[in-house]
Chains A and B, each alone.
Chain A
Amino acid sequence: MSSVLKVRNLGFAYPDGHPALADVNFAVEAGERVAVLGPNGAGKTTLVLHLNGVLSGGSGQVEVSGLKVAKPNLKEVRRRVGIVFQDPDDQLFMSTVWEDVAFGPANLGLRGEELSMRVKTALAAVGMEHVADRPPHHLSFGQRRRVAMATVLSMHPDILVFDEPSSNLDPAARRELAELILSLGLTTLLVTHDLPYALQLCPRSLVMNAGSIAADAPTASVLSNGELMAANRLELPFGFDPATTGSSVRSRA
């Protein structure tokens, strides 16, 4: 099968007994961009942390390009699933951008010329070569977000996973990030509650609520289904009409 990501009957409760995921099922095919929508506390981040085995121990299973997420495969799974976390400050911790982008591939065992090629290409892909020698915490938020992407791209992942990528970005940085995601052309899972962003980037959406998938449908149809939206605490920004915007996005694409 060509599914890059397959999630089957996934369930999970936090150690304090709080159930966070219940019977989650979906698959993502190669080249797809899929949004995961849902209100705060729906379990989106918990789901993301299951995709590369940072969280586990519940029921069900996850497969990445046919490889089961399980202890003996963790290294390869973590190479295949590139997670870009919500706060770039959590992701960037080395003393220079270069070292940070090199961290992942170095953990995979790359050294020397091969390693620097990885770093160079990843930084070039996000347009951040010129900050390679600077400490990450001296960059702007938008730049840090791009560098955080590079730290994951340098591992040559099969699928990119973003957790709330547009939060805290100004409108220009938000638009540039969208263009960047489109230009990479990678299989992408985009966790967001920024509905226009989902519509712009992802033809398909999963709606999560209280730990389960409430809907799996084309993004445009999710956003125009008022009943579904209200039942899952999803709201469009004032004045945004998915019917007109959706068609203009599609005709431009």
Chain B
Amino acid sequence: MKAAHAHSFYVHEQGRLHCLPPECKLAAALLFILAVVATPREAFWAFGVYALLVLSLSRVANISFGAFGRRLTLEIPFLAFAFLMPFFGTGSQVEVLGISLYREGLWAGWNIVVKGTLGLGTSIVLAATTQVPEMLVGMERLKVPRTFTAIGGFMVRYMDLIASDLHRMKVARESRCYDPRWIWQARAVAVGAASLFIRSYERGERVFMAMVSRGYEGNMPGAGAPIALRSQWAMCLVLPCAGALVAVSAWWGLR
């Protein structure tokens, strides 16, 4: 593989998942997440099996437990919402550690936390083993419309430039002794974000003009990665098949 533009979630040490075709990995991850989401929230054992599957995949992908855990912290802001759910709602209540919580809210919160975590875990494994350009090729091969893949590609490619713009603006602010301690002092940051948006937009326009000047007509020149073999598809589809099996048994068990 070329020393391509690696995003920060990519794990460079090559594991067995790295060399699989991107379209297989993408499809497998998507289908597996669908199986997880379709599982009844009452089937605790099923989520245990999913968690084991995802964790063993992360081992195969050479992601250390520490790194995996750190990346999972991404979801904390979203979890905050789920943790609030048991406190609001209607219907019957239960007593937990002396606090009375709504039963339905508790179930809804648990549902979001467990499925969100498993979904993010799966995406972490995918991101750690697939480079951005590969991801885009995979999406194109799965017949995702070109416009979407192109937009996705530019967003990721320009993340670095935008991040460095942001950094320069931060340095410039701090060079003028800007040091907000409280959120209501952060007006300069907000104004900065707005101007960053405008700058990124203007840069986007200039980039587009430069592309058009080199004959771009809406299609990225085809990437030449080899097409997936049937055996590779089979290997990747083991994961969603296992997921589907678990989901179906979970529903069966509830009856």
A-B contact count (CB 8 A): 73
Once the chains bind, are B157 and A95 in contact (CB under 8 Å)? Answer: yes
Among B3, B154, B207, B214, the residue within 8 A (CB) of A78 is: B214
Distance (whole angstroms) from the CB of B211 to the closest CB of chain A: 7
- A54-B212, A151-B214 known; A103 vs B160 contact (CB < 8 Å): no
Please tell me if the beta carbons of B221 and A102 are within 8 angstroms of each other in the complex: yes
Given A49-B209, A52-B213, A90-B206, are A96 and B3 also a contact pair (CB < 8 Å)? yes
A79-99 residues with Cβ-Cβ distance < 8 A to B are 79, 81, 83, 85, 87, 89-91, 93-96, 98
Of the candidates A79, A85, A135, the one whose C-beta lies within 8 Å of that of B215 is A79
The interface size of chain A toward B, counting residues with CB under 8 Å, comes to 31
State whether A93 touches B133 (Cβ < 8 A): no
Q: Say whether B210 contacts A91, CB under 8 Å.
A: yes
Q: Are B161 and A89 in contact (CB under 8 A)?
A: yes
- Whether B221 lies near A133 (C-beta < 8 A) is no
Instruction: Specify the chain A residue showing the minimal Cβ separation from B202.
Output: A90
A90-B207, A93-B154, A95-B157 are contacts. A133–B3 as well, Cβ < 8 Å?
A: yes
Q: Are A135 and B214 within 8 A (Cβ)?
A: no
> In the complex where A93-B154, A96-B3 touch, is A78 in contact with B213 (Cβ < 8 A)?
yes
Given contacts A133-B3, A134-B3, contact A95 B215 (CB under 8 A): no
A90 contacts B203, C-beta separation under 8 Å:
yes
**CB contact between A95 and one of B5, B214, B217 (< 8 Å): that residue:** B5
Complex contacts, A95 vs chain B, CB 8 Å: 4-5, 131-133, 157
Shortest Cβ gap from A241 to chain B (Å): 37
Q: Does B2 contact A (CB under 8 A)?
A: yes
Query: How far in angstroms is the closest Cβ of chain B from A77?
Result: 10
Docked Cα-Cα span, A95 to B157, in Å, equals: 7
Does B4 contact A93, Cβ atoms closer than 8 Å?
A: no
- Given B3, B203, B215, which contacts A104 in the complex, CB threshold below 8 Å? B215
A104, B214: Cβ atoms under 8 Å? yes
Q: Is the CB of A135 within 8 A of B209?
A: no
Extra contacts, 19 of them, besides A85-B210, A103-B211, A135-B4 (Cβ < 8 A), are A54-B209, A54-B212, A54-B213, A75-B215, A75-B217, A78-B214, A83-B210, A89-B161, A90-B206, A91-B207, A95-B133, A96-B2, A102-B221, A104-B214, A104-B215, A107-B217, A107-B221, A133-B3, A155-B214
Residues of A within 8 A of B (CB): 49, 52, 54, 75, 78-79, 81, 83, 85, 87, 89-91, 93-96, 98, 102-104, 106-108, 133-135, 137, 151-152, 155
